[in-house]
């Protein structure tokens, strides 16, 4: 979603801002802008569309300065228009960029109007600019004015603020939305995401909830919500520049699909070294995990499907109850809570707002212990959890999640076996077997990736379709759901997934020769059932596209197309079957000419409700 970057330096910051905004593009946005202090004036360039268009406009104006803020906007309040693009200014003397939603913006707007302020945009953000301006008029202290302004806001924000007559100051604040400070030599930065500053510095401070900071070129002062000066830990980011660049690939999604063997190897490295031990989930885990009697998983989108797969593993391997809920639903219902049920929140970014709020709600309902499974270190959700498992997928830039999903799956599998071992259900021989399954997984995934040319041929047949059905059973039903989601989000083909046994209870009515039906059919205990469901489709003229492993013994026939995935890999088979459905969606999208990495209307880190 929205992205923030800001810089104070003794060099021209425009290239820093533009580079930072380009690195934030993957989050999804609809407009971009920068505000720079130039010769005692705030100069703004904003454009609807790509950062490159805004960059050209800034170059045409010869924009250059030592202090500036920039933003990529994903509209929540007010349409996608240039006047609504950030930065927002007040009286040409204060400029603000903002991520988040100001919930009391209407009351603030009324109050500010009564004070004579005029609004140029429909955004909630503009009230922040005017509020800071109002307080700044009182005593000319930009930091104090920002502090007073944010104390009057309710909702979520990460903001960067500059003032026309404070060329030596960049002020920022966060509440509910991530913000970090990048520490340079004689220059400092702010950003909503480490990727935005990584080409300038690796040394970063992650601001905490309620923090405000005052940056000059040489100094950074951080204050907590109680206005006390605080020292926040300096982290050295390990995000690599290569992970943020395409290299030989055409799209980040393609790159990330192909990175899965490595992402999986990195994620399971510690498990293969130490076995399924509680310590994998953080230093508090050996004391906390054994006291838990059930699991509640909270997540959104693809992470929710990882959770649905985990339910099968946790209940069968650990032998304890596991519920999986969509975070945005859970947080608004009178949920029953067992304090001894572990809350597991799954989020690639660790900042998904609905998941974060669901976690807080679960705690308020009485759940004692929370585990987060995230890909971004030091993000908000792990920081609010007692236990954490970081997937090591590396930066995921494509909006459609791929390597984050499969690494989440192995994290959840590791949790299931670890709980099973603690509960005496997994003995040494079984543990060795599961470790073996994990060890072979990256190779099996590579084998599945090698099917790309065949899958590409199929995808061309999907490109002309307007609908598709995905079927799976048991452990593979969530993979059917994920396949349908991938296809719709990047190719815009309407796709639905059903447990194959549900076909006859309704969706079979949709099946005709125009409806491609994708079936995940590995050689597991449900294979014969799936074969019967496939007959039901064929009998209605439906065309079947079957992903079946080598042991499933399917052969091609009229209306039945088969791609053979690697030999059945047992309980980890969902991870391997995630690959072909990702590739199918990717190539169908390419065939339809959509913007694979930036699908319409979608954003990467969903930091608003
Ligand atoms: N509410 C602001 C910022 C939106 C945002 O943070 N999106 O991710 C706006 O609509 O401009």
**Dist. CA 475–CA 360, nearest whole Å:** 29
Query: What's the confidence (pLDDT) of residue 288?
Result: 96
**Dist. CA 262–CA 442, nearest whole Å:** 7
Mean pLDDT along residues 568-576? 92
**Dist. CA 87–CA 128, nearest whole Å:** 11
Looking at the predicted structure, is the pLDDT value of residue 111 above 90?
yes
**Whether 374 is catalytic:** no
Residue spans per domain, the chain: 3-244, 252-444, 452-592
**Nearest atom of ligand 1 to the alpha carbon of 85:** 11
- Residues framing ligand 1 (Cβ under 6 A): 1-2, 73-78, 98-101, 123-125, 607-608
Query: What's the confidence (pLDDT) of residue 239?
Result: 76
Looking at the predicted structure, is the pLDDT value of residue 22 above 80?
yes
**Per the structure block, which two tokens stand in for 604?**
């990467």
Kindly report the backbone phi and psi dihedral angles of residue 164, in degrees, each rounded to the nearest multiple of 5, phi listed first.
-60, -35
**Nearest atom of ligand 1 to the alpha carbon of 177:** 6
Bridge partner residues of 43 (DSSP): 36
Instruction: List the one residue out of 302, 283, 469, 244 whose CA is nearest residue 385.
Output: 283
Query: What's the confidence (pLDDT) of residue 399?
Result: 86
Using the mean position of ligand 1's atoms as its centre, give its distance from the Cα of residue 359 in Å: 23
Q: Each residue of 383-420: pLDDT tens digit?
A: 899 999 999 999 898 889 999 999 999 999 999 999 99
Q: Are the beta carbons of 370 and 342 closer than 8 angstroms?
A: yes
Q: Each residue of 37-58: pLDDT tens digit?
A: 999 999 999 999 999 999 999 9
Using the mean position of ligand 1's atoms as its centre, give its distance from the Cα of residue 298 in Å: 24
Q: Are the beta carbons of 609 and 4 closer than 8 angstroms?
A: no
**Per the structure block, which two tokens stand in for 13?**
């910051």
On the question of a cis peptide bond just before residue 87, with omega within 30 degrees of 0, the verdict is yes
Using the mean position of ligand 1's atoms as its centre, give its distance from the Cα of residue 247 in Å: 31
Query: What's the confidence (pLDDT) of residue 605?
Result: 67
Question: Please, which contacts does 100-103 make with residues 24 or more away whose CB atoms are closer than 8 Å?
Answer: 100/2, 100/155, 100/156, 100/157, 100/158, 100/175, 100/176, 100/177, 100/607, 100/608, 101/76, 101/77, 101/155, 101/156, 101/608, 101/609, 102/127, 102/128, 102/153, 102/154, 102/155, 102/157, 103/154, 103/155
Which of 27, 101, 103 gets mutated to test ligand 1 (max ligand atoms within 8 A of its CB)?
Answer: 101
Most confident option among 173-182, 404-413, 551-560: 404-413
**Per the structure block, which two tokens stand in for 157?**
């924000």
- SS3 label, residue 468: strand
Mean pLDDT along residues 103-130? 97
**Nearest atom of ligand 1 to the alpha carbon of 77:** 10
Q: Each residue of 453-474: pLDDT tens digit?
A: 999 999 999 999 999 999 999 9
Using the mean position of ligand 1's atoms as its centre, give its distance from the Cα of residue 31 in Å: 11
Query: What's the confidence (pLDDT) of residue 607?
Result: 66
Output 128 or 29, whichever has higher pLDDT.
128
Q: Are the beta carbons of 179 and 190 closer than 8 angstroms?
A: yes
Which of 74, 154, 157, 607 gets mutated to test ligand 1 (max ligand atoms within 8 A of its CB)?
Answer: 74
**Nearest atom of ligand 1 to the alpha carbon of 124:** 1
Using the mean position of ligand 1's atoms as its centre, give its distance from the Cα of residue 318 in Å: 42
Q: How confident is the model at residue 608 (pLDDT cuts 50, 70, 90)?
A: low
Q: What is the DSSP letter of 575?
A: H
Bridge partner residues of 34 (DSSP): 45, 70
**Nearest atom of ligand 1 to the alpha carbon of 27:** 8
Output 345 or 530, whichever has higher pLDDT.
345
Using the mean position of ligand 1's atoms as its centre, give its distance from the Cα of residue 76 in Å: 5
Which of 1, 2, 609 gets mutated to test ligand 1 (max ligand atoms within 8 A of its CB)?
Answer: 2
Query: What's the confidence (pLDDT) of residue 241?
Result: 74
| Catalytic hit among 296, 403, 421, 604 | 604
Using the mean position of ligand 1's atoms as its centre, give its distance from the Cα of residue 251 in Å: 26
**Dist. CA 342–CA 368, nearest whole Å:** 7
Which of 99, 157, 179, 603 gets mutated to test ligand 1 (max ligand atoms within 8 A of its CB)?
Answer: 99
Does 3.60.20.10 match the CATH number of domain 3-244? yes
Q: Each residue of 247-304: pLDDT tens digit?
A: 889 999 999 999 999 999 999 999 999 999 999 999 999 999 999 999 999 999 999 9
The reply to whether 3-244 and 452-592 are identical in fold is: no
Mean pLDDT, all residues of the chain: 93
Q: Give the CA dihedral 444, 445, 450, 453, nearest 10 degrees.
A: 130
Q: How confident is the model at residue 602 (pLDDT cuts 50, 70, 90)?
A: confident
Output 510 or 297, whichever has higher pLDDT.
297
Looking at the predicted structure, is the pLDDT value of residue 27 above 80?
no
> Which range has the worst mean pLDDT, 456-460, 523-527, 569-573?
523-527
Query: What's the confidence (pLDDT) of residue 150?
Result: 97
**Whether 172 is catalytic:** no
Percent over 70 (pLDDT), the chain: 99
| Catalytic hit among 2, 172, 177, 374 | 2
CATH superfamily entry for domain 252-444: Glucose-6-phosphate isomerase like protein; domain 1 (3.40.50.10490)
- H-run or E-run covering 547: strand 543-549
**Nearest atom of ligand 1 to the alpha carbon of 75:** 10
Mean pLDDT along residues 8-13? 98
> Which of 2.60.40.10, 3.40.190.10, 3.40.50.2300, 3.40.50.10490 would CATH assign to domain 452-592?
3.40.50.10490
Any alpha helices (H) in 450-476, and if so which ranges? 452-462
Query: What's the confidence (pLDDT) of residue 242?
Result: 73
Query: What's the confidence (pLDDT) of residue 378?
Result: 72
**Dist. CA 86–CA 101, nearest whole Å:** 13
Q: How confident is the model at residue 354 (pLDDT cuts 50, 70, 90)?
A: very high
């Amino acid at each position: 979603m929205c992205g923030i970057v800001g810089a104070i330096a003794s060099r021209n910051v425009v290239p820093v801002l533009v580079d930072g905004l380009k690195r934030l593009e993957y989050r999804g946005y609809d407009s971009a802008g920068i505000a720079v202090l130039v010769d005692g004036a705030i100069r703004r360039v904003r454009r609807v569309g790509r950062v490159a268009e805004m960059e050209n406009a800034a170059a045409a104006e010869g924009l250059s300065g030592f202090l500036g803020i920039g933003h990529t906007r994903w509209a929540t309040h007010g349409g996608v228009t240039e006047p609504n693009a950030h930065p927002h200014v007040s009286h040409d003397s204060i400029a603000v960029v903002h991520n988040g939603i100001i919930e009391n913006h209407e009351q603030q707007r009324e109050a500010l109007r009564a004070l004579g302020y005029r609004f140029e945009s429909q955004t909630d953000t503009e009230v922040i600019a005017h509020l800071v301006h109002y307080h700044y008029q009182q005593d000319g202290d930009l930091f104090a004015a920002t502090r007073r302004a944010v104390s009057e806001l309710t909702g979520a924000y990460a903001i960067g603020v500059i003032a026309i007559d404070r060329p030596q100051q960049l002020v920022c604040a966060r509440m509910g939305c991530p913000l970090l400070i990048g520490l340079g030599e004689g220059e400092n930065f702010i950003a909503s995401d480490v990727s935005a500053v990584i080409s300038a510095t690796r040394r970063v401070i992650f601001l905490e909830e309620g923090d405000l900071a005052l940056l000059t070129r040489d100094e950074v002062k951080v204050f907590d919500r109680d206005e006390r000066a605080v020292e926040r830990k300096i982290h050295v980011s390990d995000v690599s520049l290569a992970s943020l660049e395409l290299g030989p690939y055409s799209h980040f999604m393609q790159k990330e699909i192909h990175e899965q063997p490595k992402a999986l190897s990195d994620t399971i490295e510690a498990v293969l070294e130490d076995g399924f031990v509680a310590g994998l989930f953080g230093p508090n885990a050996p004391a906390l995990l054994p006291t838990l009697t059930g699991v509640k998983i909270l997540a959104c989108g693809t992470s929710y499907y990882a959770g649905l797969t985990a339910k099968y593993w946790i209940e069968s391997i650990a032998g304890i109850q596991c519920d999986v809920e969509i975070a945005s639903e859970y947080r608004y219902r009178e949920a029953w809570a067992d304090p001894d049920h572990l809350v597991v929140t799954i989020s690639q970014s660790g900042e998904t707002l609905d998941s974060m709020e669901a976690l807080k709600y679960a705690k308020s309902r009485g759940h004692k212990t929370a585990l987060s499974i995230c890909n971004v270190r030091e993000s908000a959700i792990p920081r609010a959890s007692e236990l954490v498992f970081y997937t090591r997928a590396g930066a995921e830039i494509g909006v459609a999640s791929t390597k984050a999903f499969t690494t989440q799956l192995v994290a959840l599998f590791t949790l299931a076996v670890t709980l099973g071992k603690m509960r005496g259900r997994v003995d040494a021989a079984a543990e060795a077997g599961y470790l073996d399954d994990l060890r072979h997984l990256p190779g099996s995934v590579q084998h599945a990736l090698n099917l790309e040319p065949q899958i590409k041929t199929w995808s061309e047949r999907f490109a002309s379709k307007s609908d598709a059905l995905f079927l799976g059973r048991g452990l593979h039903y969530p993979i059917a759901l994920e396949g349908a989601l991938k296809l719709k989000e990047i190719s815009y083909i309407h796709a639905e997934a059903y447990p194959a046994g549900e076909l006859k209870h309704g969706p079979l009515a949709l099946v005709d020769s125009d409806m491609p039906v994708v079936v995940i059919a590995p050689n597991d205990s449900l294979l014969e059932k799936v074969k019967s469901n496939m007959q039901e489709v064929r009998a209605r003229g439906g065309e079947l596209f079957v992903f079946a492993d080598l042991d499933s013994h399917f052969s091609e026939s009229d209306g039945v197309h088969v791609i053979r995935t690697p030999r059945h890999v047992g309980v980890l088979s969902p991870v391997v079957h995630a690959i072909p459905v990702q590739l199918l969606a990717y190539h169908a999208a390419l065939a339809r000419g959509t913007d694979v990495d930036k699908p319409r209307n979608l954003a990467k880190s969903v930091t608003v409700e």
